[in-house]
Structure 1
């Protein structure tokens, strides 16, 4: 088998960046797409073996342009996220929730559609969702809706796109820039409280979840599956 080619959309930080690094460590040629010029410039310094592209996953034309430079793609990973959509349902800002759907749900679908003509016959698609789709934690109904909508598509698409594979990885609490809106002391206190309730007794690192993403992307016997990489949060929802 020759060198594989991967594209990680939303791959300039957090889980996406760690996934790109781990795929590169497996010998793949890894392309990374992101919107931030500053993060891409930092990536060129920290990870010169990764090939950066400035593109918005929600813009089909921009993703198509990136793919036209890549050619045939073996592994597509879509790690687009958004910081909106959380909060008590009675006060939930529905405009913010629409923005969350636009950024994550529509962004991921737009990227996948644009990539299909470039995906090899034995290629794979891996989406990064969130365990909020599979738990009953108060204050996460909006997040559950966004991620649940993505996860609901995995099984039918696995049949429709065969023999190409599609899976999702559903993380729980991960120490990523998603939490940067919280002051550091509040973030540390919340993580400590949450870790004490998790079966694993720890908050995941991006590298932890990236290992599951790489498995989903590369294992040719996995399709139509949502892998929970959540420290057991689905077993013990936080109070």
Structure 2
């Protein structure tokens, strides 16, 4: 994999950072992009082999500049996330939901469209969605809409952009900074309750999901597929 160049957008924390580390460990020249200067600086101190770029995935000009500076991209991973959009529909602020779409769905689509001229003829594009797209969990209709929109474009893009490969990975509960808004004790209690209900009996780590993302990004026989890395969350009543 030493001749592979990867760009992980949303690569400064959580699943994105874990994916970037695993790609780099396999020998890929790995770039990460994120909005936060502080997070990029923190990654630079712990992972000097990762090449950081400060940019918002929704910033077309910024993404174009990053892609141009890299040149050929063999693996594009889109791991942008947003904590916005959750809650019961009756109380959901649709303006906030639109902002959540901007931060994830539209940012993903903008990044793909903008980087297309720089993607190798046999490049891979891997989206990170979420199992909310296909579960019936109350209070997640907004999240389901965002992630469902991402997953719905995977098959047509796999055909349209062939021989480039297009896939998505759909995680369930993952212990990442996405949950940092919860108090530590409340988070631990929820994770313990969820783990007891999951068929695998544990909440995933970012590294576990990243292994699946790397598979999607590097396996030349996978395309048009949504890989469920949810620990069986779609089968359980959480």
Asked whether the two chains share a fold, i.e. TM above 0.5, the reply is yes
**1:37 maps to what in 2?**
37
Instruction: For residue 149 of structure 1, give the secondary structure of its aligned residue in structure 2.
Output: helix
Q: How does 1:70-219 map to 2 (within 5 A)?
A: 70-219=70-219
Aligned partners of 1:121, 1:2: CA distance in 2, in Å?
18
Describe the shift of the 1:2–1:17 C-alpha distance in structure 2 as closer, same or farther (beyond 3 A).
Answer: closer
Cα shift at 1:91: 1.1
Instruction: For residue 53 of structure 1, give the secondary structure of its aligned residue in structure 2.
Output: strand
Aligned partners of 2:203, 2:46: CA distance in 1, in Å?
25
Equivalenced residue count is: 238
Contact 1:5 1:74 in 2 (8 A): yes
Aligned partners of 2:88, 2:41: CA distance in 1, in Å?
38
1:150-209 CA distance string (max 9 Å, x none): 100000110000000000000000011100110101100110111110000100000000
Cα shift at 1:95: 1.1
Aligned partners of 1:128, 1:237: CA distance in 2, in Å?
23
Aligned partners of 1:184, 1:139: CA distance in 2, in Å?
21
Contact 2:58 2:103 in 1 (8 A): yes
Cα shift at 1:2: 5.7
Instruction: For residue 234 of structure 1, give the secondary structure of its aligned residue in structure 2.
Output: helix
Cα shift at 1:29: 0.1
**1:63 maps to what in 2?**
63
Aligned partners of 1:196, 1:58: CA distance in 2, in Å?
38
**1:49 maps to what in 2?**
49
Structure 1 position 26 matched with structure 2 position 52: no
Aligned partners of 1:165, 1:219: CA distance in 2, in Å?
9
Structure 1 segments unaligned to the other structure (5+ residues): none
Instruction: For residue 117 of structure 1, give the secondary structure of its aligned residue in structure 2.
Output: helix
Q: What RMSD over aligned residues (CA atoms) do the two structures have, in Å?
A: 0.8
Contact 2:2 2:26 in 1 (8 A): no
Query: Moved runs in structure 1, 4+ residues, more than 3 A?
Result: none
The normalised TM-score by structure 2 is 0.99
Structure 2 segments unaligned to the other structure (5+ residues): none
1:2-23 CA distance string (max 9 Å, x none): 6100000000000000000000
